[in-house]
Chain A
Amino acid sequence: MVSETMSYREALRAGLEEALIQDPRVFLMGEDVGRYGGCYAVSKGLLAQFGAERIIDTPLCESGFVGVGIGAALGGMRPIVEIMTVNFSLLAMDQIVNTAATLRHMSGGQFNVPLVIRMACGAGRQLAAQHSHSWENFYAHIPGLKVLSPATHSDARYMLGQALADPDPVLIFEHVMLLNEPGTVPENPDAPMDKALIRRLGTDISLMTYGGNLPKALAAAEQLQQDGVSAEVVDLRCLRPLDKTTLLESVSKTHRAVIIDEGWQTGSLAGEISAIIIEAGFWHLDAPVKRVCSAEVPIPYPRHLEQAALPQVEQIVATAKAVMEGR
């Protein structure tokens, strides 16, 4: 298999480029995606390549242009709507939750919404509390939506195409701290978009995470290895629907689990995954399930406080070791 080295940002762009080439119904729409080149430079160059009919700069009206995306999808197009960051998506939450997620059901299956919404998410760039949050947990709560979290370069490259092939609304969360990371992209996707993958095999404990925290979990697993703990790292990839089978298979092998989620612990996806493990895998467990989540504060601006609020490798290692105690 031929692998290509590129940044996560370039992998995202390669996915966009392929989608635009493959299907004339596809267009990209959002704030500053064209002339500016994308807030995070993901769509840089696409306007010159595809023209203003397909790379559409919108005004600042999240509810409006997300709703337009839904209408265009209903009308037979395949829109990719970019919301600059997940924080601004709250302005479009009505359209996403009340319209995109419900239309198929409310119409008795007559209308489906083949819309893809991409947005940046996560903290770590000292952007303070209105640009740093992890609302993907919110969207993963909603039946009718599919929620993807590409953590690897391969997923950054291929999940968009998989999402476009899906007849229902799909949300893709791209963690801002991954954008500059170099990595390799294989020739084909790793798996269908809704399958969780074991990114590192282990036998003693399962570290379960997604998106921007996968590299942290992998680093933690390396450290644990040096201390004689074999950690398996599970990449959820798809936050709705959750691939419960893969999660439970991993726990049935390792008998211990730590969930790492950049959302706040209260009401989090980490809580949901804990519950799944306890409901369906309790008798496999040798220790209580633990969670590493963001501190329950709006993300602060100063670097030391921001970092203190986020899940860190040391915290993951310490939590895993605590779970391993009494082995």
Chain B
Amino acid sequence: MISKLHIDRAHLRHQLKQMLRIRRFEEKCAELYALEKIRGFLHLYIGEEAVAVGVMSVLSADDQVVATYREHGHALARGVSMGSILAEMYGRTTGCSRGRGGSMHLFDRATHFYGGNAIVGGGLPLATGLALANKKMQRLALTACFFGEGAVAEGEFHESLNLAALWQLPVLFICENNNYAMGTALTLSESETNIARKADSYGIAAAQVDGMNVVDVEAATLEATEFIHKHQKPYLLECKTYRFRGHSSFDSQLYREKEEIALWEAKGPVKQLVQWMRNNSHLLDSELDELEKEVEAEIQAAVRFAEAGEWEPVEDLYRDVYSPRQTNS
């Protein structure tokens, strides 16, 4: 499987940098949240970076991405600019959604990034519909749909898988199984905890992958996308991952033990890749320092960009509820 991937030192460095961008950016977001620069809900992706980075590095520029409310990592890995993401969280007009969506509703037309959806499972039919449009318009693009394992209990998961399989639509369902739907463990919410196996009943090909390993995720995604293009059918990828932080900023994490978190942190995606690269002489400490500095500079620039952004004038409150009036009736 991995033989299909062109894994070299430069590529691994690139993947590491992408994961570092997400990790450090979100650490900064937590800080800014404490300073009340960012409000609303803030759902951090820390611990799950290998999933977004692994998947996005395989997608083409024409593919569409539908994400969840924990989507800063998806947006960054997809190529949405860090400044516009942070400005969105600040609620400024320079934000990627003009400040109208906030942390949970990042959108970006240029990179075909269709949200940012705060309704669990709500993005699954939408992604299926985008895939239907691709098929009908004979576009080669596929639609990648991220969702958490909590969404699997929603009817929309089952409705969407059924429709995608029934109509043979080019959609990649990516389950980010981090074990907890907010504070409810998978074993408490699903009778069948193997999510990939659920795809079987819809006749959908599926695979499970170590979501803490960016190379594995990338390899599995490559296989998935090749399958989708070749067979014009959906595919489900279950990435086993873990979020190191709470569900949101208001989570006191009463539902899990510190030892469990520590156990997962030991196999964290950034740590794991750094160790592997060091052991194989692919990364010098000085190079890691350099990457960190580049990332830090990007974050500083993003903060400056967000701070400098304009507030939308209140007169524009009604803007974008409806499209501009058409001249013809």
Contact = CB atoms under 8 A, between A and B. Distances in A.
Contacts of B125: 63-68, 70-71, 95
B43 interface: no
Contacts of A99: 117, 119, 122, 126
B132 A108 contact: no
Interface in A78-118: 79, 94-95, 98-99, 103-112
Contacts of B119: 94, 98-99
B97 A110 contact: yes
Nearest to B323: A167
Given A95-B125, A107-B101, A68 B163 contact: yes
Contacts of B4: none
Given A74-B133, A75-B133, A64 B99 contact: no
A13 B115 CA distance: 36
Contacts of B163: 58-59, 61, 64-65, 68
B284 interface: no
Given A67-B122, A94-B119, A111-B114, A162 B329 contact: yes
Interface stretch (B9-17, B104-112, B256-264): B104-112
Interface in A7-59: 27, 53, 58-59
Contact of A63 (B99, B156, B319, B328): B156
Contacts of A6: none
A105 B321 contact: yes
A74 B136 contact: no
Given A65-B163, A106-B107, A111-B114, A71 B321 contact: no
Contact of B126 (A53, A67, A191, A193): A67
A64 B137 contact: no
Contacts of A27: 136
Interface string A176-200: 0000000000000101110000000
B280 interface: no
Contacts of B159: 59, 61, 63-65, 67
A64 B320 contact: no
B136 to A, nearest CB: 6
Interface centre among B95, B129, B160 (most CB of A within 10 A): B129
Contacts of B64: 75
Interface string A111-147: 1100000000000000000000000000000011010
A75 B321 contact: no
A70 B130 CA distance: 8
Nearest to B166: A59
B134 interface: yes
A76 B323 contact: no
A314 to B, nearest CB: 38
B321 A61 contact: no
A64 B130 contact: no
A19 to B, nearest CB: 16
Contacts of B137: 75-77
Interface in A229-275: none
B267 interface: no
A143 B128 contact: no
A69 interface: yes
Contacts of B101: 106-108
A143 to B, nearest CB: 5
Contacts of A110: 97, 107-109
A149 to B, nearest CB: 18
B326 interface: yes
A166 interface: yes
A76 B130 CA distance: 9
A174 interface: no
A107 B105 contact: yes
B114 A67 contact: no
A103 B119 CA distance: 12
Contact of B129 (A72, A94, A146, A166): A72
B250 interface: no
A75 B98 contact: no
B67 interface: no
Contacts of A109: 98, 319-320
B71 to A, nearest CB: 13
A115 to B, nearest CB: 9
Interface string B150-170: 000001100110110010000
A165 interface: yes
A61 B121 CA distance: 14
B195 interface: no
Interface in B295-329: 319-323, 326, 328-329
Interface of A: 27, 53, 58-59, 61, 63-77, 79, 94-95, 98-99, 103-112, 143-144, 146, 162, 165-168, 189, 191-193
Interchain residue pairs A-B with the least CB separation, the first 3: A71-B129, A67-B125, A75-B133
Interface of B: 64, 95-101, 105, 107-109, 114-117, 119, 122, 124-134, 136-137, 143, 155-156, 159-160, 162-163, 166, 319-323, 326, 328-329
21 contacts: A64-B155, A67-B125, A67-B128, A67-B159, A68-B125, A71-B130, A71-B133, A72-B133, A77-B136, A98-B122, A104-B322, A105-B321, A107-B105, A107-B109, A108-B95, A112-B323, A144-B321, A144-B322, A146-B322, A167-B326, A168-B323
Given A63-B125, A70-B125, A107-B97, 11 more contacts: A27-B136, A61-B155, A67-B124, A69-B129, A71-B128, A75-B132, A77-B133, A79-B129, A98-B119, A108-B95, A108-B320
